[in-house]
Amino acid sequence: MVKERIINLPNFDKRPVHYGYFLGTNQYDFKFEYITNYYKELIYKDIEVIQKNGFNVGLIGDLRINTYFNLRFEPGLYYNQRELVYPEFPEFTRESDRFREVKSTYIHLPLYIKINTKRINNFRPFLLAGISTDFNLSSNEKNSDDNASNVFRTTSQNLNYELGLGFEFYLYYFKFSPSLRSIFSFQNELIPDASPDSPWTRNIVNIFSRGISLIITFE
């Protein structure tokens, strides 16, 4: 005799609105775009970005559209740290001049369309696509000091588009969902140094953040 499978939370996805929270970890990179007269002897050397693991925490608001689509708002706090390693420019007189630490504390405000597949017992895959804005509390945008004083500055707000893939597991009391998200900024984040001849920023036209985040939600 085949044992009947127990379906957990059978009416959960019929709710018009529900809430939850999430925890996660992230890594961020920078994409650099340079001017055409970049040092010829260094033309094939990019600024290296050493990525560090950060963390995320936040809340979830979910609005049901129909069986296969949901609108989600997931405001959260994202903390991250990156280290920039510059090529050996002639202007650098100390080894420490080649290194800059970029700390980011984002108030992250994303709006997603969640695309669901059909539920299979207590399991359901989904896709996410959306846009987001970040308010970087550690940007140093209004700081009068710049790289001459070891301060790398970025804009305090930027815009992103995001893509994600995840899986929902329906447990007895709640829904548990791990997902992998990619974040791509499409707004230049660079604040140039005061001196137009600064070796840290003179060769850079644009900087864009790129990130990947592993999120675990509880709903």
What CA–CA distance (Å, rounded) separates 114 from 202?
41
What CA–CA distance (Å, rounded) separates 32 from 39?
15
SS (H, E, C) the chain: CCCCCCCCCCCHHHCCEEEEEEEEEEEEEEEEEECCCCCHHHCCCCCEEEECCEEEEEEEEEEECCCCEEEEECCEEEEEEEEEECCCCCCCCCHHHHEEEEEEEEEEEEEEEEEECCCECCEEEEEEEEEEEEEECCCCCCCCCCHHHCCCCECCEEEEEEEEEEEEEECCCCEEEEEEEEEEECCCCECCCCCCCCCCCCCEEEEEEEEEEEEEEEC
Using pLDDT thresholds of 50, 70 and 90, give the confidence band for residue 4: low
Question: For residue range 42-87, what is the model confidence (pLDDT) as tens digits?
Answer: 545 688 999 999 999 999 999 999 999 999 999 999 999 999 999 8
Q: What integer pLDDT is reported at residue 1 of this predicted model? A: 47
Using pLDDT thresholds of 50, 70 and 90, give the confidence band for residue 36: low
Q: What integer pLDDT is reported at residue 85 of this predicted model? A: 94
Q: What integer pLDDT is reported at residue 6 of this predicted model? A: 87
Q: What integer pLDDT is reported at residue 27 of this predicted model? A: 96
Question: For residue range 98-109, what is the model confidence (pLDDT) as tens digits?
Answer: 999 999 999 999
Q: What integer pLDDT is reported at residue 21 of this predicted model? A: 97
| Six-digit token string for 185 | 């900024």
| Six-digit token string for 140 | 């140093």
Pick 116 or 37 by higher pLDDT.
116
Closest CA to 215 of 168, 172, 174: 168
Q: Where do the domains of the chain lie? A: 15-218
- pTM confidence score: 0.89
Question: For residue range 114-169, what is the model confidence (pLDDT) as tens digits?
Answer: 999 999 999 999 999 999 999 999 999 888 899 989 999 999 999 999 999 999 99
Using pLDDT thresholds of 50, 70 and 90, give the confidence band for residue 3: low
CATH of domain 15-218: 2.40.160.20
